[in-house]
Amino acid sequence: MIAVSQLPVVALLLTVGALAKVVTVRRRAEPGGMSQLGPAALVPARWRSPVLVCCALVELVLAAGLIATAHVFFRWATIAFFAMSTYVLWELRRRRPDVGCGCFGDVSATPVERRSLARTTVLTAMSVGLLWLNEPGWWLFVNLSWFMVFSAVGGMALLAVCSPEIEETVARLRYRAPCERRPLPASSALARLRSSTAWRTHKEMLSSEEPTDSWRELCWRFFSYRGRTPTGEAVDVVFAVYLSGRKPPIKVAVVGMDGGEIVTATAPDTVPVTV
């Protein structure tokens, strides 16, 4: 019973692994983006994305097969998949000790270590245990018992101990790259600007709602607009949106066209710019 209770765990890991790989392929589509992820690192650059996508598809098919049917093909295919993964990781560790396993996409970027090998070995063993289940995977959810839940949680805990990705994820959440080094789209800054008081206050001065220029410097995104003062003088209205935080400060200045002389400045207080 302990062995068959691991089916939800195996199916969950296959699904999460597949989704993480697809996300990684979408995010790191540029050349070199997956050069540090196994098993992509073992194949030429042009095959890296197809290999990861293929791997993700196989995982999804296996997970669906385990849950939906009791066909023995999916049970044996899962055993073969994890056994082969163990061999690939072993080979990866020998040939490319600098790259990560890529099991969960770019979260698995730390070099392959014994724990990663132990995890695929445990998963292979769990897959072997599924051969004793004569019912489809969904049957377990219908006939759920506390013993099965505890068994599955025990299996998850064992896999968590063997997962360096958890430490990596915690580290990424705790220590984010500073704002000035993170790519941040202008569109979200523009949305923040348009919902701000500074925008509503100066909107009537603007000749157009489309900025004439937009640029980013460190953690600030600037939007420059052509406008006119109530006296009819042509001016540039520039907004500076801070790119970090839930309620980012937004600065605004109205600058004359002649030599950049400031006509009015509504935000004398400044936020220090750090580098």
Least gap, CB of 251 to other proteins (angstroms): 5
Structural element, H or E, at residue 163: none
| Spatial contact of 111 and 99, defined as CB atoms under 8 Å apart | yes
Q: Which stretch binds other proteins (CB under 8 A): 3-11, 113-121, 132-140, 235-243?
A: 235-243
Which contacts of 228-234 are long-range, i.e. CB under 8 A and separated by 24 or more positions?
Answer: 229/205, 229/254, 229/263, 233/263
For every residue of 116-159, DSSP letters joined together read: HHHHHHHHHHHHHHGGG--S-HHHHHHT--HHHHHHHHHHHHHH
Q: Check if the beta carbon of residue 43 is closer than 8 Å to that of residue 34.
A: no
Q: Which of residues 250-269 bind other proteins (CB under 8 A)?
A: 251-253, 255, 260, 262, 265, 267-269
CA 35 from chain centre, in angstroms, equals: 17
CB-nearer residue toward other proteins: 145 or 201: 201
- Taking the C-alpha atoms of residue 208 and residue 226, their distance in angstroms, rounded to an integer, is 7
Question: Which of 189, 202, 155 minimizes the C-alpha distance to 12?
Answer: 155
Footprint (CB under 8 A) of other proteins, residues 6-45? 30-32, 35-36, 45
Q: Does 107 bind other proteins (CB under 8 A)?
A: no
Of the two residues 232 and 260, which places its CB atom closer to other proteins in the complex? 260
Q: Which stretch binds other proteins (CB under 8 A): 16-24, 79-87, 156-164, 248-256?
A: 248-256
State how far the Cα of 40 lies from the Cα of 42, in Å rounded to an integer.
5
Interface residue with other proteins, options 128, 218, 226, 228 (CB under 8 A): 218
Residue 186 touching other proteins (CB under 8 A): yes
Q: Residue from 96, 216, 226, 228 that binds other proteins (CB under 8 A)?
A: 216
| Cβ atoms within 10 Å, residue 232 | 6
Nearer to other proteins, 181 or 246 (CB): 181
Q: Which positions lie near other proteins, rule CB under 8 A?
A: 30-32, 35-36, 45, 171, 175, 177-178, 180-181, 183, 185-186, 213-218, 220, 222, 224, 236, 238-240, 251-253, 255, 260, 262, 265, 267-271, 273-275
